[in-house]
A and B are shown apart, each in its own frame.
Chain A
Amino acid sequence: MNRAGRSLARIPVEYRGAREARGPLLVVEGVAGVGYDELAGVRLPSGERRRALVLEVRDDLAVVQVLEGTAGIDPATVAVAFEGRPLEVPVGQGWLGRVWDGMGRPLDGGPPMLGADTRPVAGSPLNPAVREVPRDPILTGISVIDALTTLVRGQKLPVFSSAGLPHLELAAQIAAQATAGGDPFKVVVAAMGLTHPDAATLRAALEGRAEAGELALFLDTADDPVVQRVLAPRVALTVAEHLAFDLGQHVLVVLADMTNYCEAVREVSAARGEIPGRRAYPGYLYSDLASLYERCGRVRGCAGSVTQVPVLTMPAGDITHPVPDLTGYITEGQILLSAELHGEGVDPPVDVLGSLSRLMRKGAGEGRTRSDHPAIAAQLVASLAHARQVRDLAELIGEPALTDTDRRYLAFADAFHATLVRQRSDESRSLEDTLGRAWRVAAELPRRELTMLPAEEVAAHYPDGGPGG
């Protein structure tokens, strides 16, 4: 798993003075034998030590990004030593039950994480030929997700949201409630660029899970240095991969907020003077995001799994913005939140028609959740799509002009949101409860409209005494 490439032991040489400090970057002159992407230590005259990563080596120059930022650094007076190895973190169970900053330093007053076993935070690509197809569900206790966009172990399923919507609450609820059917289950959360109130909310919501020793929380707040924001998800994923693929546990990784992460990447890129791409994000943003999102899945012959729920806010609600767009190209579906539904008081405001779990067909159904699950989910989504057309039509021609069937569709959409989607943020529903609600909602429609449901499932689940049809 070591990607260091080589481990030629080397006594770090310290270089005194840098040529230039710019943004998070430091340009060091007169160096020799410095490797690309290796770790460096930066010492200030005050004795303060910071860490840095090599972004480029050219002749006798090394460009490094200082993880803690360059504030307070006078390039003339710093000393930089190159370590000849990549940035690594210790791995192990010791991360669990604790709160850390984006680089893995304790924020809870406890001791630092120590361990003989370390891993480079950049990770290594998983050989695609040894991947196992994800096929077992994770139940979140949230009806709309479990029923219609089932999360599958090894999947990456992001939450696309807009400013002002309760996406962080939803992410916290997923992190607090998710289970893998009795198998050992751990949660790793990397919070990136959150405000302090948001960070406090997140900590509070996850207290129970932390106390149970099932949670490692990495908190990077909006006032932390940008380079730390770039590292936080990598530290979290390195910890998660070890728990999953070395210790055989199911691990859910929540990454929030990826938009803040991408802005940090853009900031570093601009400081390096790189040619900007779409909306001034660097041209490699897709590959960079993929280097995070692809760190999930299942491995043949290994019990554990890494599942990701990245959360991002779409700037100005624009789903074509590079952050949601590139994310959507890498992830396996999305859970889309809608300001309109939130305005109508439907929380969590999941826009079911814009949401999709691509792996659901593997993770739901007979032997996974329940045999009727895929069909009832498909039926509800299709009926909801029709209900939306009916609503548009009703706005044009008026509700009284609708056919009886179409009016039933409007009632169906209301019941759908009231019974299935709306849920308290501290309420965890069992799968039985969720699917029971799904059938009650379906029963708002006449039986003949339920064309996607096999007759025997209708006979078994269509509630008697419903509106019928």
Chain B
Amino acid sequence: MNRAGQGRVVRVNGPLVEVEGLAAAAVAEVVEVGPQHLPGEVVASGEGRVTAQVYEYTGGLRVGDPVVGRGRPLSARLGPGLLGGVFDGLLRPLAGRPHWLGPGALARPPGGAAFHFLPGARAGGDAGVGTLLGTVPTPSGVDHRVLTPPGVAGRLEWVAHEAEVGEDEPVAVVGGRPVAVTEEWPVRTPRPARARLDLSAPLLTGQRVVDLLYPVAKGATAAVPGGFGTGKTVLLQQLVKWCSADVVIFVGCGERGNELADALADLGGLEDPRNGRSLLERTVVIANTSNMPVMAREASIYTGMTVAELYRDMGYDAVLLADSTSRWAEALREFSSRSGQLPAEEGYPAGLASALAAFYERAGRVETLGGAEGSVTAIGAVSPPGGDMTEPVTAHTERFVRCLWSLDRNLAYARHYPAVTWQRSFSRDAGPIGEWHAASGRTAWGRDRERAVALLAEADRLAPMVELVGLQALPDRERVTLLAGRLLREAVLQQSALSPNDASCGPAKQDALLQMVLAVLDRCLQLVAGGVPASVLEEADLSGLTRVRDEVPADDAGGVRERLVQALASLESLAAPEGSRGGSPAAPEGSR
């Protein structure tokens, strides 16, 4: 254990500690620094000196203090206690720790926890890597599957009977080695899988602008760049709450403490549509708020990714949300600046791009070592300074991700939420996802999406012209396009995170809303072609259409279609000759 021997501190500069006398310290090895055994990690080693980044506040640390090498890389303890928990960047539980966090060692959590183990295999057979040995049921329904861990294989010599077991107590013996419900894994090393699978099944998010326009596949990657005040955190929290994953890992990486408290309270109060229990029970929260030690922020996204891979290997669809990767990059920058590395763009280390790429590359849909299918979808928020999309973290990230959901300040100022702009967003998996939808019965999805994208682009092209020459000067067809473009934005793309009906939207209602707008567009185009002036149609009261998303339940496609029928009727009555018009152009009596 004490392979590397004992060294002594020779320099302390914030989280950077230099050490002499550690015999054989490998890069990425864990060291314990000073009398409090502060956890640190070797980032450079040579010429008798080792540079370590320390994950705790280093106040009081002195030259000459002892340093011990642990002879192993920074690892996370992965066990059944993760779901529903709140952890720091090193995956130490925050529950039960004091109100005010002082520096602490990388001590193991108290071993008192016991889990209910159900055997899932019989002794005697062959247990390759990834073989299901048993499960630990959890209230969330996402059972913890105990598998033969990577690196262990052979004959299954013994499996425990159904029993309460401690977290490190063996529940099986495979090839002579004991296996417990908890394992350790080095966080910077991707967990192995048998094969990568292609991306086609969508991760449904309940957010229309994502699911309809810029869909993300299970196992893909997405980035959400947005300046402050553009609603980045709200969008991410919506994804945590409503996405169709089995397990969500939320990494609060250098963000606000109050926000985290809010998210925890929200998740605790939200009902899981699958089983009516609290959503928090299938969420893992890693909280490293902006005032917590900065290097633990750097480690936290790897810790989170490792947890996500653990559930992937059990055959689940896991989603990792990191808010915000910019704060992670800043931790890299802070450290590289203290260690005197040559800076690249804006003071970030030259390795930023490759570190980002490697992180997102850990996402994927795979065939696990045990032959099951699982996925990790990685979604990272990006906080560009001054909203500058050319800054290094944003510019590099958008090269590596499959989806980009750019948040736009002008949309946010106009209270268009979620402020995902169609001008700077993309989804590179829309094609295969369209085919997947078609194969599962949503045949119109791809065509409707194309029409919506085209409509938005056309409306954007016309908008500056209106400012120049006025609406009246445009041909009727284009005026109808503008009308429909506005309807698309207000009735479909805008979505209220606070409304019980609108916060999440089911696939059927999504399709119905989009088809409603397209139907109105088609009818209006027919009407103007038949000689009805666009100005008449512009006077129509379509507020019933813009409000329907908020007024009918999340799965009520029928309610949406009812509104469409009413709106079409009111358009007809407007278009009818002057004398035969009804008294009121508004929706008929009895409408909701």
Chain A interface residues toward B at CB < 8 A: 1-6, 32-38, 55-60, 84, 86, 122, 124-134, 154-155, 245, 274-278, 282-284, 286-287, 290-291, 293-295, 297, 299, 319-322, 325-326, 328-330, 332-334, 353-354, 356, 359, 361-362, 381-382, 385, 396-397, 451
Q: Does B103 contact A (CB under 8 A)?
A: yes
Which of B54-62, B136-144, B435-443 lies on the face that meets chain A? B54-62
Interface residues of B in 514-537 (CB under 8 A from A): none
How many cross-chain pairs have Cβ atoms below 8 Å apart between A and B? 207
Q: A5-B61, A5-B102, A359-B258 are in contact. List 7 more A-B contacts (CB 8 A).
A: A4-B59, A128-B261, A128-B287, A154-B258, A275-B343, A320-B388, A326-B385
Taking the nearest CB of chain A, how far is it from the CB of B264, in angstroms? 8
Contacting residues, chain A, for B58 (C-beta < 8 A): 36-37
Contacting residues, chain A, for B327 (C-beta < 8 A): 286
Asked if A38 and B13 sit within 8 Å, CB to CB, the answer is: no
Contacting residues, chain A, for B86 (C-beta < 8 A): 128-129
Asked if A329 and B228 sit within 8 Å, CB to CB, the answer is: yes
Taking the nearest CB of chain B, how far is it from the CB of A121, in angstroms? 11
Asked if B62 and A330 sit within 8 Å, CB to CB, the answer is: no
Q: Does B1 contact A (CB under 8 A)?
A: no
Instruction: Give Cα distance in the complex from A361 to B258, angstroms.
Output: 14
Task: Give which listed residue, B64, B256, B290, B413, contacts A332 with CB less than 8 A.
Answer: B256
Contacting residues, chain B, for A361 (C-beta < 8 A): 498
Chain B interface residues toward A at CB < 8 A: 10-14, 18, 35-36, 57-64, 86, 94-95, 97-103, 227-229, 252, 254, 256-262, 264-265, 287, 289-294, 327, 330-331, 333-334, 337-338, 340, 343, 346-347, 383, 385-388, 413-415, 467, 470, 498, 543
Contacting residues, chain B, for A274 (C-beta < 8 A): 337-338
Task: Give which listed residue, B259, B291, B330, contacts A291 with CB less than 8 A.
Answer: B291
Asked if A354 and B289 sit within 8 Å, CB to CB, the answer is: no
Asked if B60 and A283 sit within 8 Å, CB to CB, the answer is: no
Asked if B100 and A125 sit within 8 Å, CB to CB, the answer is: yes
Taking the nearest CB of chain B, how far is it from the CB of A415, in angstroms? 21
Using A131-B260, A290-B254 as known contacts, say yes or no to A58 and B63 having CB atoms under 8 A apart: yes
Using A35-B60, A329-B228 as known contacts, say yes or no to A126 and B99 having CB atoms under 8 A apart: yes
Task: Give which listed residue, B11, B100, B228, B347, contacts A127 with CB less than 8 A.
Answer: B100
Asked if A329 and B383 sit within 8 Å, CB to CB, the answer is: yes
Contacting residues, chain B, for A35 (C-beta < 8 A): 12, 59-62
Using A6-B35, A330-B290 as known contacts, say yes or no to A127 and B94 having CB atoms under 8 A apart: yes
Asked if A294 and B291 sit within 8 Å, CB to CB, the answer is: yes
Contacting residues, chain B, for A283 (C-beta < 8 A): 330, 333-334, 337, 347
Asked if B260 and A334 sit within 8 Å, CB to CB, the answer is: no
Instruction: Give Cα distance in the complex from A4 to B100, angstroms.
Output: 12
Taking the nearest CB of chain B, how far is it from the CB of A78, in angstroms? 21
Asked if B100 and A126 sit within 8 Å, CB to CB, the answer is: yes
Instruction: Give Cα distance in the complex from A326 to B94, angstroms.
Output: 27
Name the 8 nearest CB pairs between A and B, nearest first.
A320-B386, A290-B290, A294-B291, A131-B261, A5-B60, A37-B59, A328-B228, A129-B94
Asked if A57 and B260 sit within 8 Å, CB to CB, the answer is: no
Taking the nearest CB of chain B, how far is it from the CB of A68, in angstroms? 21
Contacting residues, chain B, for A319 (C-beta < 8 A): 386
Contacting residues, chain B, for A354 (C-beta < 8 A): 413
Using A57-B63, A86-B60 as known contacts, say yes or no to A275 and B347 having CB atoms under 8 A apart: yes
With most chain B CB atoms within 10 A of its CB, the pick from A2, A58, A60 is A58
Instruction: Give Cα distance in the complex from A245 to B99, angstroms.
Output: 10
Instruction: Give Cα distance in the complex from A98 to B257, angstroms.
Output: 31
Asked if A278 and B101 sit within 8 Å, CB to CB, the answer is: no
Instruction: Give Cα distance in the complex from A33 to B212, angstroms.
Output: 63
Instruction: Give Cα distance in the complex from A362 to B414, angstroms.
Output: 22
